[in-house]
Amino acid sequence: MDRRDFIKLTAVTGAGATLASCGNPEHQLIRFVPDDDIVPGIAEFKPSVCPLCRAGCGLSVRVMDADVETVRNGQAGVVKMMVAKKLEGDPKNPISRGGLCPRGQAAIQITYHPDRLTHPMKRTGARGTGEYKEVTWDEAIAELTGQLNALADAKDQKSLVLLARPRRSRRLELFAEFLSRFGAPAPIGFELFAEDVLRRANAVSFGHEQLPTFDLARAHYVLAFGADFLGTWNSPVSQNAGYGVMRQGRQASGGTRARFVHVEPRMSLTAASADEFVPVKPGTEGVLALGLAHIILRNKLRPADAAGRAGAAIDGWSGGLQDFKPENVEKITGVSALRIERLAHELVEFRPSVAMIGGAPLAHTNGLFNALAVNALNGLLGAVDQPGGVFFTPGVGRSPATPHRPPATAPQSGADAGLAVKVMLIDDANSVFASPKAWKVREALDTVPFIASFGSFLDETSLYADLILPDHSFLETWVDSQPESGALDAVSTVAGPAMKPLHNTRSTPDVVIEIAGKLKSPVALPWKSYEEMLKAPVGSRESAASHQPPATAVKYQPPRFDGDAAGFPFHFLPYASQAFLDGSTAHLPWLQEMPDPLTSGMWSSWIEINPRTAERLGVALGDIVDITSSQGTLQAPVVVFPGIAEDVVAMPVGQGHENFTRYASKRGVNPIGILAPLTESETGALAWAATRVKITRAGGNDGRLILFAGEMRENPFEGRRQER
Amino acid sequence: MPHRWGMTVDLDRCTGCGACVTACHAENNIAVVGDVQAAKSRAMHWIRVERYWEGDFPDVRLKFRPVMCQQCDAAPCEPVCPTYASHHTDEGLNAQVYNRCIGTRYCANACPYNVRFFDFYNPKWPRPLHLQLNPDVSVREVGVMEKCTFCVQRISAAEIDAKAEKRELKDGEIEPACVQSCSAKALVFGDLNDPESEVSRLSRSTRGAKLLEELGTLPKVTYLARQTQV
Amino acid sequence: MKEATAKRITDDLLRPLLHTSWRFFLLVAVLGGIVLMGGIAWMYQIWNGFGESGKRWPVFWGFYITNFVFWIGISHAGTLISAILRLVNAGWRRPVTRCAEVITAFALMIGAMFPIIHLGRPWLFFWLVPYPNQRLIWPNFRSPLVWDFFAISTYLTGSVLFLLLPMIPDFALVRDKTTGFRRKFYGALALGWQGTTKQWHRLESAMQIMAIAIIPVAVSVHTIVSFDFSMAPVPGWHSTIFGPYFVAGAIFSGIAALIIAMAALRKFLHLEDYLHPVHFENLGKLLLMMSLLWAYFVFAERLTTWYGNGTSEMNVFWATQDGGYSPLYWLMVVCNFVIPFPILSLRKLRTVTGCVIASCSVVVGMWLERFLIIVPTLSHKYLTYSWGSYRPGPPEIMIMISTFAAMGLLYTIFSKLVPIISIWELKVGEHPFPIETAAQVKEHAILRTNP
Amino acid sequence: MSVLYALYSEPDEVQKAVDSLRKAGVPEKEIVVISSEPIEEYEFSHRDKATWLYWIAGGGGALGLAFGTWLTRMTELAWPLQTGGMPIVSWWPNLIVMFELTMLGGILATVVTLFITAKIPTRENALYDVAVSDGKILVGVESPTEGLRAGIQNALGAGRVVSR
């Protein structure tokens, strides 16, 4: 091949030397012999599991060779290693089905994050100052073992608390096993958008204490109440796949395009794709659901008993829900009676139809009622366990973690158990960031004598740790997931390491096993290693169904809000941001720079205000406003947002980290901070949508708001010529 | 007959989730410019999900539209380049040869879709982030233009494999990063010269339309209109 | 003609060459300093990355290309005008031609710098030049930038020769009038010119041909500069009017620059006897005509856009009319029409000072016009999601300032080395007889202009 | 070599001198008139007016055109690259380059011819007088044949003849 062909080839492939491989001092470093034989330039694909949310998507990791700088017995050098290059959805995985969400795509940056913790550390400075010194693993483990021994000696095992993210995973089972055998309370699961209310409701209505799975691929009519199921809620990737099919996947085989109606006060990413957007007063979603049910019952479109126990759980169901005549519902929800009539008829006409609820509607003081109402509607529509309806993934055990009840997140949670926490273990849960100030989580942490964290990064919570035993990244270790939703059949994903560890870290489950064995009175665990545990067959798990609270009929209680409408005229709606979810992925640069789908915001946080409201407040795009709740004040730039009710303001969760790597620290503001500590009356879950705020202009555009987009509308000057 | 790579974007399937945007960064070594540069609107997104508001609350609608290089057959960006850095390949791709680019940025001005991006500085990857870089894609130096390539590295890899195995490429065998990541399957990629391929079938659909068709740029990306309920 | 007159002319025009005051050196030092800073600014930009300029997505052209178009426009002052005046053999041209042609030569050199400065990788600019190379690739002749390269180099070659040829006899004169190193220096430059009848004939016919050739070239140059924009299918650029529009604008700004230059020479080199109010008067009339022509073009362009009401075209229209760029737009209208029109149309006001004021405002206005052609379009292309904005960076501003200094510097040095008025042509025109009183100037001027 | 010349202030004298030189039998070619500016109104100043310069300029233009055509075609075909769906050799754009090179050819041809025919650059000529720069007009003969010397001196006016 002569030079010209070569140039042509490069012209086509765009190949060329990468900057990364030139201008580095690598050639000066010693080259170590690789541990395993590597075929350079040939990519392998290895399975893994996405750790970012409870959906637990199965991954296929592209692995190729690269020069990695390491230190071997004191000698700095480089070694060729197979390292992960890209994450794809695993086509064979029933959850991800080959797709992946933006967060999942960026998860690989966790492994390569420049601010990742690379070795065990012991605190030297005051708590929260982030001053640590490197220690060896032996020292670290000895330290923790010592602390646990001390508890054991004092017969005080109860005051050991483990704070983790509530996941259906064997990792958490292992922790639970260890704790119970040690004599400590079960792990405390903490997550902001935990959806415990929905689990409870499903237990009540259907006997499954788990999140639902929707058969969108076969549904003909979808009515969603606040559930951001295409963006951040439940199992987004599988739901996106289903959505694609329900819209355009069936025509080829003579099927029809499904209809999709979305009910919420602020148009979310999901509502943007809906055929019909139905704004409703916050916290009254359940009323609308029952209003629809009332019409169906009244017109005998469906048998009342179809709802079964789900119906029985609603007060006045058997009586045909007389309190929910369209006129009353219109008064409460703000949705016109006519529209309610129409929707009700469509629901029946276009069966199989399914209703879903999630997110904000459950984060009100009457969240459980809203959930139960929608469940009852599903029952009435015959959508439960039916094609195109709602399913419950089988074989899913109860979460080993007890859902937190405030102030349970605060470790003096011990308080309810009647004793104080002495030792606290934190596994990647950031309760400081994700709790209202009013919960005083910091203060609580300060009272804990000893805190150890297994996290890979210093965040607001692990900053309180006295000892840090950093975990491998999910690509460097055995990982597993038993998603509670997203597939019609039971799913259990287990995957080995996709690459060798980059840093001096250790797999946390193995560390726990090691510690268990090292205790003065060792705790006997059935497994020698986490790998062994994962390879062992999953034992027949007690079905979640057996745990069902007695069904008692609930009445509608109007949602309570913190702050009176006069002083605090706006409903404050924090929502899971498409990039950062609950803030746990704010440290990934790709996600920081990904334009928000609706506002195109990057690297910043903002508050979304209806155009007319903005006009009334005299604020424009980018202006700075004070957002004041009874709990405190935030400052954020304004995004004028046509898709939000005039009495609602919304704010993405995720920014506003005080300390979370170079990319997220001191960036934007954290709406959770000013939330009132109201809770869902039945379950005690945080009612994060129940706060009211007032807005006052604080200043002009100071460039704090970074947008990617220029204009909001496609034709901004339409009809301008007529005016002038 | 040479291949003619094209794509269809089903706006009825697209949910605007943005997975394609991140996937593109991951596959193509697109630099993260950081907040300061992003504020100067120098962020580089080879594919972007445009969103347009219609109407006012409560009767408000929102349109999503993923926009990447349309790989035009009559691309305005190509002839204006004095050094042939931007030119058309035999397979109809709108190639950008970084080594030839001297940074006149004329192509970007001529492009009606604003899908070309400029490296204002040398890209930085704080170690060990650089370990993620895709060795099949060259990293761009300061002063050159870059844009969506339809993941040409994947295309040629697949073609080389097929050649080695002495077989024809299968439809759907090649998936650019954005297509692969799209869980709603809104994006379909394939050979427009193969009338049987999914992409050909879809681009013949009555819902199909090209972006800024009236300019006569002959794009190879077809947008399938979002359907509205009556 | 009277030898006394000849002597007077010679002495007057050689004075700047022979006597140098400290002011000259001060001026050179100051201007040189500014130019140097411009150079430093450019190095700074190359070193730190092009991001130091204010360019951003999607506005990839800004000050640099604005200045490029502006300076190329200015270059239409000299050669084009003097060529036309030569062909129509206007008597009053004689003192004007050279100082006009100098502007062309220097403005072109400065203008041609900008396409290089604005490159992302300026160290590769020579890839625009067609030469056999180991990359086995030639420039793309379909690219307007390559057209620019050819047009500008042709125009530059042409106008430099056009400037140099008539200088040869003057060099010979200086050679005879000086001694020592000057004699050697100018002797070399004179190329051994004698002044035989044959030489004069050849020189004059050569100038005739050049004059004929240079006019279409000049027109083509700015047409091609306009093609840089009108070839791109984007709103506000893709227009057939651009060619003539740009050429008219170029001549417009060119004349303005010429008037300013002449006024400066007149003042600092004490050439009142040679650059008369009549010259400013005549050029003023020309400027007035161009101002009207410019207004006509702008109106034609605006009306077509407004009447057609094409969505994307109107987006750009509104952006300049009452959008973010409107202040600049209306300032441009004021500078290019509202100010110069009355000044130049009233005989009373069409004085040297009046013309200079008008010219200054035109120069500003025409710079704004170039800017307003480039930036609003780029920031308002078809897809509104990708709309953007532009703010110049420090290097861009510094470099722009320094180019104006560069013009001054080159001009100063030139007028120090070369008789800024063509002595022999002046003598042929038997012009002027030494004149003392303003009254005589006027009557004399009229007598000379309409013989 | 030797030169004979005289300086005059008035063109009329020059005309006389030239005529009498002719009478003295000096070949037309050898009569040289040097002035500090072109003189139009007299017979002597119309000598040597005829020139091919215009045709040569045209020829240069033709050459430039030919080169332009070749350059564009050749380079485009040397490595045919598709751009914007335009033909590999696309005449519309090429015409521009061809035009510019045509003009360049014409201009260069003109200047070169000028230099050759005007015999510049050369060393300083023997037949010259700095007085010319003061407006004097020089008439003279370069290295005249011995036979004619006397005749020339008379013709130029014995008094003012300079001989070198």
| Model pLDDT, residue A217 | 94
| Spatial CB neighbours of D24, under 8 Å, sequence gap ≥ 6 | D148, D151, D152, D154, D155
**In whole numbers, what is the pLDDT of chain A averaged over residues?**
89
Q: Is the pLDDT of residue A711 over 80?
A: yes
Q: Tell me which residue in C136, C309, C385 faces A3 most closely, judged by beta carbons.
A: C136
User: Distance (Å) from the C-alpha of residue C247 to the closest C-alpha of chain D?
Assistant: 16
Closest CA to D5 of D141, D132, D126, D159: D141
pLDDT digits (tens, 9 = 90+) for A617-655: 999 999 999 999 999 999 999 999 999 999 999 999 999
pLDDT value at A18 more than 80: no
Interface test with C, best of B120, B148, B217, B218 (most C CBs within 10 A): B120
What was the pLDDT predicted at B205? 92
Burial of A537 (0-12, 13-18, 19+ CB in 10 A): exposed
Buried-exposed string C403-433: b where 16+ CB fall within 10 A, e elsewhere? bbbbbbbbbbebbeebbbbbbbbbbbbbbbe
**Tens of pLDDT, residues A261-279:** 999 999 999 999 999 999 9
Q: What is the pLDDT of residues A113-172, one digit of tens each?
A: 999 999 999 999 998 888 999 999 999 999 999 999 999 999 888 999 999 988 888 899
pLDDT beyond 80 at A9: no
- Is the pLDDT reported for residue D124 higher than 90? no
Q: What is the mean pLDDT of residues A524-544?
A: 78
CB contact under 8 A, C127 and B102: yes
Q: Please tell me the distance from the alpha carbon of residue A57 to that of residue A45, in angstroms, as a whole number.
A: 16
Task: Indicate the residue of A20, A243, A594 with minimum beta-carbon distance to B22.
Answer: A594
Using alpha carbons, list the distances in angstroms from residue A46 to A49, A104, B134. 10, 16, 16
pLDDT at A418: 43
- Where is C22: in which H helix or E strand? helix C22-48
d(CA C56, CA B114): 12
- B217 interaction partners in chain C (CB closer than 8 Å): 233
**Per-residue pLDDT tens over the stretch B47-70:** 999 999 999 999 999 999 999 999
Residue A555 vs residues A304, C274, C337: alpha-carbon distances, Å? 18, 104, 77
Residue C44 buriedness (CB in 10 A; 0-12 / 13-18 / 19+): middle
Q: Which residues of A touch C (CB under 8 A)?
A: 3-4, 7, 600, 709-711, 713-718, 720-721, 724
Collapse the DSSP code of A667 into the 3-class scheme (helix H, G, I; strand E, B; otherwise coil) and give the result.
Answer: coil
Which among A4, A710, A715 has CB closest to C136?
Answer: A4
Does D83 contact chain B (CB < 8 Å)?
yes
At residue A539, the pLDDT reads 60
Instruction: List, in order of start, the domains of chain A with CATH numbers.
Output: 25-111 (2.20.25.90), 135-190+404-471+506-538 (3.40.50.740), 196-391 (3.40.228.10), 570-699 (2.40.40.20)
Q: What is the pLDDT of residue A541?
A: 55
Residue labelled with tokens 């009622």: A369
Q: How confident is the model at residue A409 (pLDDT cuts 50, 70, 90)?
A: very low
* Other residues' Cβ atoms within 10 Å of the Cβ of residue C40: 14
Please tell me the predicted confidence (pLDDT) of residue D27: 85
User: Which of A522-526, A681-685, C243-247 has the highest mean predicted lDDT (pLDDT)?
Assistant: C243-247
pLDDT in the model for residue A543: 52
Closest CA relative to residue B210, chosen from B223, B199, B198, B200: B223
- CB contacts of D107 in chain C (<8 Å) are 154, 157-158, 161, 209-210, 213-214
SS (H, E, C) chain B: CCCCEEEEEECCCCCCCCHHHHHHHHHHCCCCCHHHHHHCCCCCCCCEEEEEEECCCCCCEEEEEEECCCCCCCCCCCCCCCCCCEEECCCCCEEECCCCCCCCCHHHHHCCCCCEEECCCCCCCCCCHHHHCCCCCCCCCCCCEEECCCCHHHHHHHHHHHHHCCCCCCCCCCCCHHHHHCCCCCEEEEECCCCCCHHHHHHCCCCEECCCHHHCCCCCEEEECCCCCC
Taking the C-alpha atoms of residue A91 and residue D103, their distance in angstroms, rounded to an integer, is 66
CA distance A100 to chain B (A): 5
* Confidence grade of residue C425 (pLDDT, cut at 50, 70, 90): confident
| Token pair belonging to C46 | 């190359």
Q: Is the pLDDT of residue A1 over 50?
A: no
Is residue A14 over pLDDT 70?
no
Q: Which residues contact C90 (CB under 8 A, 6 or more apart)?
A: none
pLDDT value of position A700: 94
Instruction: Count the neighbouring beta carbons within 10 Å of the beta carbon of residue C191.
Output: 15
What single-letter DSSP state applies at residue A426?
A: E
D108-117 pLDDT, tens digit each:
999 999 999 8
Most D CBs within 10 A among C200, C207, C231, C421, hence the mutation to make, goes to C200
A713 to chain C: closest CA residue: C384
Please report, as a single letter, which amino acid is at residue C111: G
Residue with tokens 């009825």: B12
Q: Which two tokens stand for residue C172?
A: 């010979």
B41-50, B169-178, D45-54, range with the lowest pLDDT = D45-54
The pair of three-digit structure tokens given for residue C298, joined into one six-digit string = 């702008």
Yes or no, beta carbons of A716 and C386 under 8 Å apart: no
Q: What is the rounded CA–CA span in Å between residue D32 and residue B169?
A: 86
Q: What is the mean pLDDT of residues C255-280?
A: 90
B64 beta partners: B51
Beta bridge partners of A581: A577
Q: What is the pLDDT of residues D50-107, one digit of tens each?
A: 788 899 999 999 999 999 999 999 999 999 999 999 999 999 999 999 999 999 999 9
Q: How many CA atoms lie within 13 A of C382 on its CB side?
A: 17
- Predicted local confidence at residue A4, as pLDDT: 52
Higher pLDDT, A546 or B200: B200
Q: What is the DSSP string of A514-529?
A: HHHHHSSS----S-SS
* Upper half-sphere CA count for residue A160 (Cβ side, 13 Å): 25
At C77, the pLDDT band (50, 70, 90 cuts) reads confident
Q: Is the pLDDT of residue C353 over 80?
A: yes
Dihedral sign from CA coordinates of D134, D137, D139, D142 = positive
Instruction: Please list every residue in chain D whose beta carbon sits closer than 8 Å to the beta carbon of residue C10.
Output: 133-134
The answer for C21, left when phi > 0, alpha when psi is -120 to 50, beta otherwise, is beta
CB pairs under 8 A between C and D: 169
Give backbone dihedrals phi and psi of A161, rounded to 5 degrees, phi first. -125, 135
Q: Are A645 and A266 in contact (CB under 8 A)?
A: yes
- Residue B133 scores a pLDDT above 70: yes
From the list C373, C143, C400, the residue with the least C-alpha distance to C249 is C373
- What's residue A405's pLDDT? 53
If you average pLDDT over residues B153-163, what whole number do you get?
95
- Domain annotation for chain C: domains and CATH numbers: 3-449 (1.20.1630.10)
Q: In chain C, which residues have their Cβ closer than 8 Å to the Cβ of D10?
A: none
CA angle C390, C395, C400 (to 5 degrees): 85
Residue A383, phi then psi, degrees to nearest 5: -95, -5
CB contact under 8 A, C137 and D36: no
Q: Which domains does chain D have, with CATH numbers?
A: 3-49+123-163 (3.30.70), 53-117 (no CATH)
Q: List the single residue in B with minimal CA-CA distance to A101.
A: B19
Question: Number of C-alpha atoms within 13 angstroms, CB side, residue A419?
Answer: 13
d(CA A285, CA A162): 36
User: Percent of chain B scored above 70 by pLDDT?
Assistant: 99
Stretch among A291-295, A539-543, C257-261, D30-34 having the lowest mean pLDDT: A539-543
Q: Which chains touch B (3 or more CB pairs under 8 A)?
A: A, C, D
Question: What is the per-residue pLDDT for A537?
Answer: 77
Q: What does the alpha-carbon distance between residue B54 and residue C339 come to, in Å, rounded to a whole number?
A: 45
Residue C270 has what pLDDT?
86
- Give the separation between CA C339 and CA C40, rounded to whole angstroms: 37
D127–C3 C-beta distance less than 8 A: no
pLDDT at C312: 93
Question: In angstroms, rounded to a whole number, what is the distance separating the alpha carbons of residues A166 and A108?
Answer: 22
The reported pLDDT for the residue numbered A392 is 93
Kindly indicate the confidence band of residue A10, based on its pLDDT and cuts at 50, 70 and 90.
very low
What is the rounded distance in angstroms from the CA atom of residue A134 to the CA atom of residue A128?
17
**Domains detected in chain B:** 5-224 (3.30.70.20)
Residue D51 has a pLDDT of 82
| Structure confidence at residue A411 (pLDDT) | 42
B71: left (phi over 0), alpha (psi -120 to 50) or beta: left
pTM for the full predicted model:
0.92
Residue C449: pLDDT band with limits 50, 70, 90? very low
Whether A660 contacts A347, CB under 8 Å: no
Question: Is residue C7 within 8 Å of C173, Cβ to Cβ?
Answer: no
State the pLDDT confidence band at C430, using cuts at 50, 70 and 90. low
Full DSSP string of C407-430? HHHHHHHHHHHS-SS-HHHHHHTT
Residue A22, pLDDT score: 46
How much is the pLDDT for A553?
84
pLDDT at position C440 = 47
Give the closest residue to A361 by CA, choosing from A289, A291, A295: A289
- The C-alpha atoms of residue B45 and residue B29 are separated, in whole angstroms, by 11
| Contact by Cβ (8 Å): B93, B120 | no
Average pLDDT over residues B164-190: 95
